[in-house]
Amino acid sequence: MRASTSVATIALIVLALYLPSTAPASAEAYCPTYQVNLIIDLVDSNPRNAWVGVTVATRVHVTYPDGTPAVLMPETISFSWSNGTYEKIRPNALVISTGEPGFYMYLESVKADFPTGSVTITALLCSCSDIGGNWGPTDDESSLTTITPSDLSILLIGLQMTTQTTTTQPAENVLATYAVPIMIAILLLIALLLLFARGRRKKP
């Protein structure tokens, strides 16, 4: 009886090993590739502060695992703008080659329906490809996850701040500025009046 139980237990273990796993597949399983996946190792956005109407330029670097620069086909990548509670997706956004191998620029003007506050721009999983049918990245990539420590794709989006300073001086400043010339003019006027009065007294 014990022998049969042991055999059944072993059979179940072996069967479980060969059955398809029901666990969630990895990111790579959702990102088709012909030979090798694409990697985004830099996401850098400027300016760091923006508001509605301001154009944000995000530079990305796309390579293969060995570091060779990739040429995208088509030249599109999907991006998300997220403040942690609200997300705006820009699917298949146009990216422009900078002329430097592997580097592309994504330009987007901030819209009224974009998230505000501290916003992270992220290149989305498996949203770019090359002419050979290779896709990437194998995970969402922002400056928080790339291997490049100097990049930064986090910016502050809010209302436009007025930085102009008024040129109107307070009344006390105006008085302080013109007090001396006014006093000099008054003294000159008094001196002229005294001189004129003295001249009249000397006449016979």
Q: What is the pLDDT along the chain (204 residues), one digit of tens a residue?
A: 444 444 444 444 433 444 433 333 334 446 888 899 999 999 999 999 999 999 999 999 999 999 999 999 999 999 999 999 999 999 999 999 999 999 999 999 999 999 999 999 999 999 999 999 999 999 999 999 999 999 999 999 997 654 443 344 455 554 555 666 777 878 778 877 777 766 665 555
Q: What is the pLDDT of residue 166?
A: 39
pLDDT at 88: 97
The whole-number pLDDT of residue 202 equals 55
- C-alpha distances in angstroms, 193 versus 69, 168, 190? 89, 36, 5
CA–CA gap between residue 3 and residue 7 (Å, rounded) = 6
* Residue-level pLDDT at 139: 95
46-52 contacts at long range (C-beta below 8 A, 24 or more positions apart): 47/155, 48/152, 48/155, 48/156, 49/155, 49/156, 49/157, 49/158, 50/110, 50/155, 50/156, 50/157, 51/110, 51/157, 51/158, 51/159, 51/160, 52/110, 52/111, 52/112, 52/114, 52/160
Return the percent helix, strand and coil in the chain, to nearest 5: 25, 30, 45
Sign of CA dihedral 81, 78, 38, 106: negative
Q: What is the DSSP letter of 111?
A: P
The token duo for 197 is 């009065």
